[in-house]
Amino acid sequence: MRVAVVGAGVSGLAAAHELARSGGSRVTVYEKEDYLGGHARTVAVEDADAASTVQLDLGFMVFNRVTYPNMLEWFEGLGVEMEISDMSFSVSTELGASGSRCEWGSRNGISGLLAQKSNALSPSFWRMIREILKFKNDALRYLEDHENNPDMDRNETLGQFIRSHGYSQFFQEAYLTPICACIWSCPSQGVLGFSAFFVLSFCRNHHLLQLFGRPQWLTVKGRSHSYVHKVREELESMGCQIKTSCEIKSVSSSEGGTANARSSSRISSGYHLVTHPKQVIGIVLFASGFRVTVFDGSEETYDRIIFGVHAPDALKILGAEATHEELRILGAFQYVYSDIYLHSDKSLMPRSLSAWSSWNFLGTTSKGVCVTYWLNLLQNIESTSRPFLVTLNPPHVPDHVFLKWYTSHPVPSVAAAKASLELHHIQGNRGIWFCGAYQGYGFHEDGLKAGKAAAQDLLGKESDLLVNPKQMIPSWSEAGARLLVTRFLGQYVSVGNLVLLEEGGTMFSFGEVGKKCHVKSVLRVHDPMFYWKVATEADLGLADAYINGYFSFVDKREGLLNLFLILIANRDANKSSSSAAGKRGWWTPLLLTAGVASAKYFLRHIARRNSVSQTRQNISQHYDLSNEFFSLFLDPSMTYSCAIFKTEDQSLEAAQLQKVCLLIDKAKVERDHHVLEIGCGWGSLAIQLVKQTGCKYTGITLSVEQLKYAQRKVKEAGLEDHISFMLCDYRQIPTQRKYDRIISCEMIEGVGHEYMDDFFGCCESLLAQDGIFVLQFISIPEERYEEYRRSSDFIKEYIFPGGCLPSLARITSAMSAASRLCIEHLENIGYHYYPTLIQWRDNFMANKDAILALGFDEKFIRIWEYYFIYCAAGFKSRTLGNYQIVFSRPGNDKLGDSGIHSLSKLSGS
């Protein structure tokens, strides 16, 4: 299906993007200007003062997460960078009746409101402030009545609403009229003729009825042309044909009739970019579709047309071929045209600097609108002291003009409000769709929604447009927690960029991407309980907030990982001296408000210390979840420890076998040996060991489920004569037998700090005189060990109760205190754990439905996703290690002269 999109403003671009990415449509975009984007226009201005070029947006400048949800979704999908902006407002006007002057602004709080000193003593001014509060209540009541009673008359004008509710002339002239004139860029005297329902709906939906707690406004960091370029790149990558400087002149229907808009078949895509301008002088509609004729005589044929232009322009192109319904409905949308200047003339700003704001209404409400936008504030221009100003309809030509142009904006009249309800009568009826910002409130979000909706209707798809999210309004306690958390993050995060995007509201940004940390993470905060949890429980509160769905990430795959990497980088950047760190523990959480929770969690951890009776309960809580569950993310061998990858694309199963073989090689196992494995898991090492060497093997576990699985796999392999398992604690292993080799792979993390010496004492008593002991374990840096063992964390609380990662020094101190063992070989394979954990996470998420079918819930899913990425970040940042250590006793000549096999030998380097 060939589709022509007429107009490359936001509506046309959105329609083309939706058609192209859906596939099956060959899309051509026509734009009469030599650039795309419509009101999204960026210009480069030479700033003589700063001797530099400044990029400035002249049309589309600001948006927010509450009232622009579809725009934000589009931008995030395109990878558009955003930053905080300002949407303050000021009035500097002569009041019609008295001729007195009123000036005030919202940017600087009380000093802005009282920018004109006489405001403080003006009863009319303070009455206006009270009426602003009254206006909110009256507007909400009016909208509720009309929405609950669709038959109520919606023809009432704003002026009629104001008069019927008894608002003062001062309120009209110093507040309401200026605001509406600024929003719709229309003459002041026409404001009171607007549709009351339309204006009040807009004010409610855009949170303009409240003085405080309005949504935070944003702007495109690289200016609006950066998003337009991204859209163009995507369109071209999907094969869209783009024709700039091509103005459509007319549309005519042939005698053959019209195409059926609802029944065409789709044609595969195939496009090319036209780089030279051509003027389109006609479109002819045949039974088979539309023919576009270019002035040089060339023709293009299309099956469908989408008009992404102003309503009057669409009617002009249709000419005599416009139907009665199209003339009636589209003709109801009227526009106001404004002269616009880009300049730096300060006389077109409020007299008092305290009143200077982003939007500034000037002049009198009895004359045409004059609005000045302060671009330095709106677009965060800090490189110059020169004010860059855009003024609509100034009373005189400004000084220091950089650029002049004109623009148009739809007027929210009663007729337009009624016509917007009837648009569905003309959409697609004869193969033509109409879209534009005029179909909503006249802004970028409205244009995007109209374009996307037109394309989806053309494709016969259900609309998936987002509705405005409810603005997140925290309680007093939550607001206090938010203040505390944001202040803490502002001080704590200095490297990397952490961004919090509140549901339908504010954005906070901390730190910046740099050489020390190039990572960025953008969180979506869905519930203010996020702040309360973090403020009162610190890192465990962060985990709990994620588990409960109080926040998520824009980047669903890398967001959580990047968050941890940023926190790790800043923890290390802000680390105290080693002596101070040694004095830290549960009593010194990063947030002092989390002290009570820190004590609670540490006491809970202490209660789970690994005595013989408690250890079995701790192990069962994790490993007895079900063998089927673990099989959904582990490799087929069910190996639950760090793999070793020869290449990045090596399978997890092959990498696990490689690790197991390395442990066997390091242990120098021979056929006549009897090997003990402390922590046998699901038996993967046992089976490989016996197959590879023919030795005898004994393994112990405390997990009933692991034991059942391992025994079954051994029976299936026919190795019962060589392999035996025991369900017992390492402290309960009979000491009558000595083992030639002992292997323990990632079991000692469940021993606990207090029992490390006991563990090595048991190994000493069980190992033959010339035996070899191979230990693999996850390690924590020595500088953090004391603080870590004296506090709880996510892993101890949610994953491995009673667990404790040892430092390398703790291992060697326990070795020397409780045994005659010495270290023969040591190797850190920790960098292999990151890809291991990522593959586990990917397998886990790919099998999410199967895991839920086992009876687990969404919170469980998030706990385990958090667990995998929490650990992965530690290994990716190299702040966690994974050691393989070979122990023996002095004088052991069984080690031989060939040395210990290492990872470097295995990889052939």
The catalytic residue positions are: 871
Q: Give the whole-angstrom CA distance, residue 841 versus residue 862.
A: 11
Phi and psi for 3 in degrees, rounded to 5? -125, 130
How does strand 89-94 pair with strand 497-502? unpaired
Hey, how many other C-beta atoms are within 10 angstroms of the C-beta on 189? 15
The CA R_g of the chain, rounded to the nearest whole Å, is: 35
Between the alpha carbon of residue 877 and those of residues 462, 570, 833, 869, 873, the distances in Å are 45, 12, 11, 12, 6
Residue 671's CB is within 10 A of a number of other CB atoms, namely 8
* Per-residue CA distances from 662 to 23, 646, 697, 749, 830 (Å): 50, 12, 17, 21, 15
What gap in Å lies between CA 112 and CA 360, rounded to an integer?
12
Query: Contact, 601 vs 812, CB < 8 A?
Result: no
Dist. CA 170–CA 258, nearest whole Å: 56
Phi, psi (degrees; rounded to nearest 5) at 401: -80, 130
- Cα 886 to Cα 424, 772, 826: the distances in Å are 77, 7, 6
Residues 403/342, Cβ–Cβ less than 8 Å: yes
Torsion angle in degrees (nearest 10) through CA of 438, 440, 446, 449: -110
C-alpha angle 509/872/744, rounded to 5°? 155
> For residue 588, which of 652, 541, 637, 538 has the smallest C-alpha distance?
538
Tell me the C-alpha distance between 747 and 666, whole Å.
Answer: 18
| Lookup result for tokens 């083309």 | 16
Q: Are 10 and 38 in contact (CB under 8 A)?
A: yes
Query: What is d(CA 191, CA 207) in angstroms, rounded to the nearest whole number?
Result: 19
DSSP at 470? P
Q: ∠338-90-186 over CA atoms, to 5°?
A: 25
* Cα–Cα distance for residue pair 144/138, rounded to 1 Å: 10
DSSP for 424-449 reads: GGTTTTTSEEE--GGGTTSSHHHHHH
391 forms beta bridges with: 341, 372
Q: What are phi and psi of 35, to 5 degrees?
A: -140, 160
